[in-house]
Structures are given as structure tokens and as C-alpha cells.
Structure 1
Amino acid sequence: MAKNGPISQINPSEERRYSLKNIWICSLALKLLLMVGYHSTDFDVHRNWLAITNKLPLSQWYTENTSQWTLDYPPFFAYFEWVLSQFVPTIVKNDGCLDIVSKGQYGLPTIYFQRITVIVSEIVLFLALQWIIDTSSSYSMKRRMYVATASLALSPGLLIIDHIHFQYNGMMYGILFLCLNSARLEKYLWCGFWFSVLLCFKHIYLYLAPAVFVFLLRSYCLNLSWNKRKNIFINLLNLIQWRNSIKLGVVVIGVFAIAFLPFYNTLPELFGRLFPFSRGLTHAYWAPNMWAIYSFVDRVLIQVYKKIPVSRFFLLKIFKFDSSLLQNDELLKTSTRGIVGDIEFFILPQITAKLTFLLTLFYQIMALIPLFLQPTYRRFIGAMTLCGYASFLFGWHVHEKAILLVNFPMTLIVCRDVKLLPAYNLLVACGYASLFPLIFTCNEWLVKVIYTFLWYIIFYFNFKKVTRIPKNKTSGVIVDRIVNGYILSFILVLTITTLIDLLKNKYHVLKKFEFLNLMIYSTYSAIGVISSWNGMCWLYFVDDSIWNDST
């Protein structure tokens, strides 16, 4: 993929060869083949949103509740669904695509139409990635960015989540990359504009908002230089670049006004949909974060308590839990449904929403302090990555799909220094592996496994080929081998979980452990993601050379 040869022998005309067009065509062929494959309930979610925005006046979009799949994305996404609904052909309408019903009844015409809308919307991603390549400052940087952007364009995460499971994340991340490249080019107003647009499409990106806020505040709105010739009052007044701040404020407020003002009569219902605090800490399938490990330990302690009588005294003394709950097998099976009132943990102390918020806030603030002191583009991407890590690892009711919030920004800087590669490899390997349980049908099993494996092998070697190796780089062979060994151990995880799936209908005892595979996936992936976070934190706080734009 990456081109060999001395940089001095490359003339400017050859740089134009770094185009994602062929990659887009190849990926398009695969996505078209997957159109009639498995899709999750998210497919009916978006079908219902098409119907709501098409059939009802705007004032009812956030109050309609015929289906359980109520509209719960910000207004720009609702407008987007309305635009798509205007292009629904008659044959698709007759198929039930635009029916407001409790449960959608549809066939291939609707499936084809909605699949095509995902593919078309992903053009935003390819245009944004191509812009990153085209605006890179040198041939060597274009080469690196080509590998990085190609890995994003072909991401197994997008293939699994968008083109099999069914969502529109490709377009969302395209807007994010428009924001990030605007920041790199010091187009700060555009950076603020694109991120505001993104938040009005999907509010999960609030996890990344602290990094964007601090970066724009420090780079565009503040002037921390101190003129000794002027009095203190004038210096304090000049700390704020008023013209820049006003322009940025007008842009951001303008975007949100366009999004939300049409819903001024139903704003309470709208915000109630966007922030449903009635959900529990985890899903039935734990996202691979700190709470997956916490939940795993709780489940292990339950078995220790039930199987080893001598342990009961010590466990009761240490954790002071209600032992009568452990006698209810049905309750044990439903301990992580994520519904208010359910018991989340039986032996370990309960985790509150306030605690998850404080932990997330603490680790995000720690990442933002260096960004405030050194507001470079690379430091900005590093801080955004760590904000994504903190939200994913410590957040409340985290979706496993949110791992892309960490993976995608980090990809833009991984070529900056070879020391970033172990943390990145561990992140993408375990992050994408954690998405496998989303697709559980036999036909798509082979696609997700083979595609992800080939993607990892191809880009593992290409990243190694183009990543900058600093002169003072110390040996990291041991770390690389540990990381690679852990990633290879996923073959064992995949083998065990596949055998359990194949044999569970033959052996009745396996039916008692219906969530065992999910626990194995989430625990394995959580260890990898947490380890990756530790490595990234060390580099972010200790190795300043990685984050200096001038080197």
C-alpha cells in the first residue's frame, strides 16, 4: 500500500497518486454484497424515524411513541432522516417503509433503500479523509496519512456497525474529521462549526467536547502574553481575544439555534429523549471497560460464595451484601439488564451515576491540562483520544460501539511516533474484537472474522512501514512482543466461543451459561483496552516530543 523509494526522487505530480477512490470502489463492492445480510433492530429504528419525519409535523417528532423506537437523536439527524424520506420510491413506500407502527413490517425494497442510504452518506467520510491527505504538508506526510486514512476508510468497525448491524457512523466520523483537519490547518471557526454540527447530529460526541473546547479556547480565544509596559487592567482585558471569541460564539450559537429553535415548543421532550438517565450502568453485553472487569469480578465472587462455603464469612465481612439475593437464580440472570431498580452487583458495592461522572471528569481534566499549556494539533488529538478513553472506560451505560470514539482520532497521529504503535495495535485489535458479538448469525460470522483479520495484518505492517522512528528511540521489543502475544491469544478466545456456540444445542449444560461468550469477549477486550489506555497515558504525560508540531 505504501510506496517505497527515496523521497528526493518523487516529483510533485506523483503525489496525486494518493487517492482513496480505488479503496472506495473496492469497499463499495463488499458493502453491496452485504445488503441482504443480517441487520439488527437498529434497522427498524431508522425506518421508524423515516416514517415519523415524513408523516408527522415537526412538532410531533419528539413526542410520537407508537413504536418503542422513538426518535432520540438531536435535530440535525432528524432533519437528515426527513431528507432521506423525500427520496423513498413508491415501491419502497408500498413495502411499509414509511408506516408508523409498533413493529415494522417490510421486505427487500426497504432493506435495499436503507442500505443504499448508508453507503451514499459515507461519501462524507471519504471526502473528509481525502482532504486530510491533500492538505498534508509534505510527501512523507501524505504517505503516512494515506495509510492512516485508508485504514479508517476500510475500518472493520464501520463495516460491522454500519453495513451489517446498521447505523450511520461513517457520515458522523466524516464530519468529525472535517473538524479535526480544520484544527490542523488552523481554521478555528470551521473547527468550531463542524463540531457544533456534529453534536447536533449525534450527542455521543459530547464525550470529545472538552478537548475541542479547551483547544479552541486556548488557541483562538485567549492571549496569554503579558506586556510589562501596560498596566494590570489592560493586560487582563487583553487576555481574551474578544473579536475571535465573538465570532466563534456566533458560529456555535448559530448552529445550535438552527438545530433546536424549531422545536422550542417541545424542548423538554426533546432533551428527555436525548438524555434518558433511567438506564443502568451496563448492558446485558458489557462494553469492554472498567465496569466489565468490575462485573466479571462480581460474577466470580458469586461463584466463590456459592461453591466454597468457607469463603462466605470473609466475603460477608468485607463487602457486607445481602446474601439472600444469591439464592434467587432468576435474579442472578438479570443482574445487568440496565433497567432502573435492577440489582447491578450482588457482592461488590454498587456503582452510582455520580461516581462514573466524577471519574470521567477527573481523567478528562488530567488530559486537558497539558492541552491548555501546549495547544498544538497533536496534543489536541492526544487529549481528544484520552477524553474518549475516559468516557468509554468510566462512563455510565456505555455502548460497545463507542470504542470508535477512541480509535478514530488516535489513528491520525499513530504515524507520528513508533512508540504509539503498541497502544494503538492493542486498542484496535481488542476494540474491534469486542464488536464481534453484535453479529451472531452464521453467514456474517465468516465475513467479520476474516475481514477484521486481514485488515489487521495489512495495516499492522503498513503502519510499521511508514511510522516515524525518532533518533532517540529506545528499544521497545519486549512491549511489542507482549502486545502481539496478547492479540494472538484472541485466536483462543475465538475458538472457545465458537465451540460453545456450536455445542450449546447438543449439551444441555452449556445452555445454563448463555451469557458466557459475551462475558469472555467483554473481559478479554476490556483488559486490552485498559492496557492500551495505560500506555497512551504514559506517552501523553511523559514523552513531550510526540506532541510538538514543530518536530
Structure 2
Amino acid sequence: MARSKFVSLFKSSPLYDFLIPFQRAQNQWVARYIIIVFAIIVRCAVGLGPYSGQASPPMYGDFEAQRHWMEITKHLPMKEWYFYDLQYWGLDYPPLTAFHSWILGELGSLTDYSWFALDLSRGIETNDLKSYMRITVLVSELMVYIPAVLMYTRWMGRNYNKASPIDQTIIAAAIIYQPSLIVIDHGHFQYNCVMLGLSLLAVVNLLEDNYALASIFFVLSLSFKQMALYYAPIFFFYLLSVCVWPVSRFNPLRLISIGVSVVVTFALMFLPFIYQGGFSQVVQIIVRVFPFDRGIFEDKVANFWCATNVVIKYKNIFTQSQLKNISLLLTLAGIAPSCIAIFLKPTKSLLTWCLSSCSLAFYLFSFQVHEKSILLPLMPITLLLNEVDSDVISMVCWIANISLFSMWPLLKRDNLALQYFVLGILSNWLMGNLSWVRMFLRKAKIPVTVRELATPVLPHNLFWKLVIIGSYSAASLLHFLDYYQEPPAHLPHIWIIANMVLSFGCFSLFWLWTNYKIVQKATQKLKAN
């Protein structure tokens, strides 16, 4: 593992100012306690706002979908969970989500039975229910995602970038306060934090060389939300490589232990359904989880298909089956560089880079992508804040902002505009990305102090400077037009389409950049892990 002298790249940030007083403490639990408490406060504040589908009958939205799953898993026998009333909000996530919903439904019914009364509770929107649902997301994140982030940054600090304990905490805070996950899980309402946290725990165990345990955590992530498949190729090729590559070090026992871990974990997820209703249950779960009949896309998402559909009307040219095959081929081509790199050089320094590239390729080219799917590539991308490279941090901050921007149409529809802007500004301010404001204030003869050792907001490369400044300028213009200018009658979705095309361009460039960095790092002579 390559080790470089750590240089704090957040010394100009309020995060650094808030946490640096705890630098000399031998135990950093107080600093970690502070960032967790502040994270809870921010998430609770967001949770005071509206949610997906609020007061929007007859289907409502994701809030009602999650509540309804708690309703059916509490009252119906397991063999009916994936068959019941599919025209409403039929269960369409893997088994672990179903078990999660069952537990939360049982606990909630102890407080108020009417929240999850079968068929009678549809569309219920009481304040008490809203508070309970918000708390379940918060507790889920506190139990899974936030500990995983702290464990990851601790491992990186001890074994990779030589960051001190307080610097590890500062980096963890920057990751935890990433606004996109907060506004989707605690505003729009979902439990993405569980799936992302389980995947991150799998990454941590890969770093610790606990391959069987890593496999178990990743299968649990897949069993919670099928979108974790975005990471699956990298896990597969990394684990395969450490077992069979090079040939002289072939380790059959390790390979067997990984295989057994995967099979047993999947079996434990599905066996209760098979016991209750036979193997037809497995078929039904797979049909519900992978809805290929819905078409290659539904909403306007910043991926290849939606962006290029502005010019090429795919559904008029290709059949559904042909689009599936083309999507598969493009996705395989998109993930190939990262998969090849991690198989030929399974180094821990490459793992997060390859996860970022692979998951972003899935977002750009795969079938049935939603706006919220950007959270999957964004998780490993934000982990790159552990790199001791100001250019990398600048790029990560840029794409995190573009990711939030890409979800603006969804958040606007949910009446989460206030949360969108406040979280975006708060995150950038905490990380020091607004330090450039001081320069303009000084030019305006407003007396402000100049921060020393400020991290450059822009990369050193001129091309990327122009790209980032241009994309921010275009995004700002689109927000201005969206607020002040009604779209033309013959182009009612013009601002949404512009958002989609701009975001797609940024994501594509970032994907190319990650592949360039992967090739660059893979060809370097690194010491063996």
C-alpha cells in the first residue's frame, strides 16, 4: 500500500475550525460525538419539511410506499407479501427490505395500531406517523451508514493517508454532511442509507482482508436494495483476483469460504419465503425486483438514454428487447476499464476509484435508472475525499454539487426547494468551498480576514477549471430561468431537459476522468498490500 505524508486539505474550512480544538485529546470520541449530534440536528431539520407524495392522492409517493410495505408485511403471511395488490404500491425491493419493513411495522403498531391497519390506513398523513417514519430513517442511518463512514476513514487514516485522528474525523464529517443523501432519505423519504451503509461495511472488510465477512455484508446490501448491483462487478473481480491472481498464489480455501458465505447469506434471505410458499416465491420476487417490462426509462434522468433521447427517439427505432441488449452492451463497455483494472491489480488504493467508475457507468448506461440512483456512485466518490490531493477533492466537491443539482426537478416536485438550497450551501460552506467569497468581499472594500492555507476550490488543470466554472454558471442560469421564466408552451419541460443534459455532460466527463486516474494509478509501481 502506497503511503504518503498527510497534509490536511481542509484547514481553511469551518469543519476544521469547529473540530481542531479536540486535536490533542487522546480519545477522539468527543469530536465524533459532535459531528454525529450535528448530523442528527441537520437531518431532523430536513425531516420537518414535506416528503414525496404528500397530500397527493391517489398514489401519494415514496413515503406512502414505505409505509404501505410496513402495513402488508405486518398483517399478511409472508407468502403474500410480493403478490398483494400490485396495482398500488406492491413490494418490489428484495427480502431484507421486506424484513426491515416488517420490524418497523410491528414496532410502530405498538404506538398506534391505525398507522398500519390493513387497507384502512392508505394515505394516512398524521404528524405522529410522520415523526415515527422520520425517526426510523434516522435510527437506520445511525446504526449502519454513519458507523461505516467512521470505520472507513479510520482505516484510511491508519493505513493509507497517515491522517491524524482529528483529521480522520474532519474527513468523516465532510462525507456525512454530503447533502444529496440527506435530502433524499430525510426529505423525499427512503432508506438508501441502509443499502449504502452495508455496501460500505463490505468495503471496510475488504480493506481489513475479511473477505468472507465482506461478502456477507455485500449480499445483505443486495438483499436490501437491488441497486447495489452497481457495485457488484468490482466486488466480484476484486474477490476473484485475491483468490486466483497471480496463479502461483491460488487460494482455493479463500475462494470456497467466499462462495459459501454468498450462498448461505442468500439462502437465509430466501428460505423463509420458500418454506412459506415454495419456489414460486423466488420467481415472483425476481420479477418484482427487476421490472424490465417498464421500459428503458420513465422519468427524465441525467443518463445516456434520456439525454440522447432528446435527439434520437429510441422507442420509435428499437424494440424493448433490442433496447435491453444495447443497454447491456453499453453498460458492459462502461464498466470494463474498472473491472479489468481491479482484477489485474487488486490494490486497496484502487478499490474506491474502481467502485466510483463502475457505479457511475451503471448510472449512465444501464436500464431503468432513476434520479435518486446517483446516490450509488456518489457514495464511493465522496470517499475519495480521503485522497491527499487538492485536485481530487476539488473534483469530488464539483460532482457532488452537480449530483444534487441533477435531482432538482424531483426535489422541486416534492416542495423541497428550501432544503435543497440550504443543504447545498451548508455543505460547501463547511468544507471551505465558499472561501473564494472573501476575495470578492475584499475587492469590494469590505474588511474580512484572509484564510491561510485555503484549499483551491478549482483544480490546477485549465480544462477542468473551465468545465467547472462553465457548469456552475449554466446551473445558476437554469435556476434563475426556472424561477423567473415560464417555459414556452410548446416546450413545457425545457428547463428539466436542460438540467438533464448539463448533468449528463458533467457525469460523463467525470467518469472519463476517473478512468484516467484508474489507469494512471494502476500503472504505477505500488508496493504489495
Q: What TM-score range do you get, normalising by the shorter chain?
A: 0.7 to 0.9
Aligned equivalents of 1:412 and 1:440: distance in 2?
28
Aligned to 1:178: 201
Deviation at 1:82, TM superposition (A): 0.8
Contact 1:414–1:467 under 8 Å retained in 2:
no
Instruction: Could you tell me which runs of 5 or more consecutive residues in structure 2 were left unpaired when the two chains were aligned.
Output: 1-13, 53-60, 437-451
C-alpha offsets along residues 375-427 of structure 1, whole Å, 9 cap, x if unaligned?
01121221111111110111111111111211111222344233433542332
Q: How does 1:22-421 map to 2 (within 5 A)?
A: 22-40=34-52, 41-65=61-85, 67-89=87-109, 92-94=112-114, 96-100=115-119, 103-123=122-142, 124-135=144-155, 136-137=157-158, 140=163, 142=165, 145-219=168-242, 221-226=243-248, 240-264=250-274, 265=278, 266-284=281-299, 286-298=300-312, 344-345=315-316, 352-416=323-387, 417-421=389-393
Kindly indicate whether the alpha-carbon contact (under 8 Å) linking 1:66 and 1:100 is maintained by their aligned counterparts in 2.
Answer: no
Deviation at 1:102, TM superposition (A): 9.5
Q: Is the 8 A contact 1:132 1:145 kept in 2?
A: no
2:107 aligned counterpart, secondary structure: coil
Provide the rounded CA distance (Å) in 2 between the counterparts of 1:350 and 1:72.
22
Deviation, 1:258, is 0.4
Q: Counterpart of 1:455? A: 427
CA contact (8 A) 1:47 1:98 kept: no
| 1:134 to partner: Cα distance | 3.5
Q: 1:549 to 1:89 in 2, by over 3 A?
A: farther
> CA distance change for structure 1 residues 525 and 66 in 2, over 3 Å: closer, same or farther?
closer
Work out whether residues 378 and 548 of structure 1, in 8 Å CA contact, stay in contact via their aligned partners in 2: no
Alpha-carbon distance in 2 for matches of 1:52, 1:243? 42
Structure 1 residues 360 and 102, CA, compared in 2 at 3 Å: closer, same or farther?
farther
| Relative contact order, higher structure (CA 8 A, sep 6+) | 2
Distance 2:479 2:505 in 1: 16
Q: Which residue of 472, 475, 479 maps to 1:487?
A: 472
Superposed CA offset, 1:307-364 (max 9, x none): xxxxxxxxxxxxxxxxxxxxxxxxxxxxxxxxxxxx73579x9971110111111221
Single out whichever of 203-212 and 129-138 deviates more from structure 2. 129-138
Quick check: 1:435 aligned with 2:447? no
| Root mean square deviation of aligned Cα | 3.4
Compared CA separation, residues 210 and 294, structure 1 to 2 (3 A): same
Which amino acid in 1 is paired with 2:212? L
Unpaired segments ≥5 residues, structure 1: 227-238, 300-342, 505-509
Q: Quote the Cα distance in structure 2 between the aligned partners of 1:431 and 1:456.
A: 13
Correspondence list, 1:532-547, <5 A? 532-544=510-522
Q: Give CA-to-partner distance per residue, 1:413-446, whole Å, 9 cap, x none.
A: 3442334335423321211101111122696312
SS of 2:198's equivalent? helix
The residue aligned with 2:9 is none
Against the structure 1 CA distance between its residues 298 and 224, is the aligned structure 2 distance closer, same or farther, given a 3 Å change threshold?
Answer: closer
| CA deviation profile, 1:176-203 (whole Å, cap 9, x unmatched) | 2211111122222221111111111111
The 3 A distance-change label for structure 1 pair 73 and 545 is same
Shift of 1:540: 1.5
User: Number of paired residues?
Assistant: 479
Determine the C-alpha separation between the residues in 2 that align with 1:462 and 1:185.
Answer: 36
**1:462 to partner: Cα distance:** 9.9
Distance in 2 of aligned mates of 1:549 and 1:288? 39
The structural deviation recorded for 1:80 is: 0.7
Distance 1:532 1:22 in 2: 33
CA distance in 2, matches of 1:208, 1:293: 23
Larger Rg: 1
TM-fit CA distance, 1:130: 1.9
The one-letter code of the counterpart of 1:273 is R
Contact 1:128-1:174 at 8 Å conserved across structures: yes
Residue deviations 1:525-544 (CA, integer Å, cap 9, x gap): 11111111122222222344
Taking structure 1 as reference, are residues 463 and 526 closer, same or farther at Cα in structure 2, changes over 3 Å only?
A: farther
Measured at CA, do residues 543 and 223 of structure 1 come closer, stay the same or move farther in structure 2, by a change above 3 Å? Answer: closer
Counterpart code for 2:246: L
Residues 415, 106 of structure 1: alpha-carbon distance in 2 compared, 3 angstrom cutoff: closer
Deviation per residue, 1:42-82 (Å, 9 max, x gap): 01101110011100111111111165210111111111111
Aligned partner letter, 2:302: P
- Provide the rounded CA distance (Å) in 2 between the counterparts of 1:379 and 1:466: 28
Specify the code of the residue in structure 1 equivalent to 2:182: L
Letter in 1 for 2:90: T
Kept in 1: contact 2:23–2:166 (CA 8 A): no
Which residue of 2 is the match for residue 520 of structure 1? 498
Deviation by residue 1:138-185 (Cα, 9 ceiling, x = unmatched): 752645543442222112111221111110011221212211111122
Residues 453 and 55 (structure 1), Cα distance of their counterparts in 2 relative to 1, 3 Å cut:
same
| Alpha-carbon distance between aligned partners in 1 of 2:43 and 2:385, rounded to the nearest angstrom | 27
Kept in 2: contact 1:2–1:466 (CA 8 A): no
Identity of aligned residues (%): 24
- Supply the distance in 2 between the matched residues of 1:377 and 1:46 (Cα, whole angstroms): 36
Task: Tell me, yes or no, if the aligned pair for 2:46 and 2:419 is still in contact at 8 Å.
Answer: no
Q: Which residue identity does 1:242 align to in structure 2?
A: P
TM-score, normalised on structure 2?
0.82
Contact 1:38 1:441 in 2 (8 A): no
8 Å contact from structure 2 (residues 201, 217) kept in 1: yes
* Contact kept? 1:287, 1:398, Cα under 8 Å: yes
Looking at structure 2, the residues matched to 511 and 84 of structure 1 have their Cα atoms a distance apart, in angstroms, of 46
Letter in 1 for 2:345: Q
Check whether the contact 2:153–2:168 (CA below 8 A) recurs between aligned residues.
Answer: yes
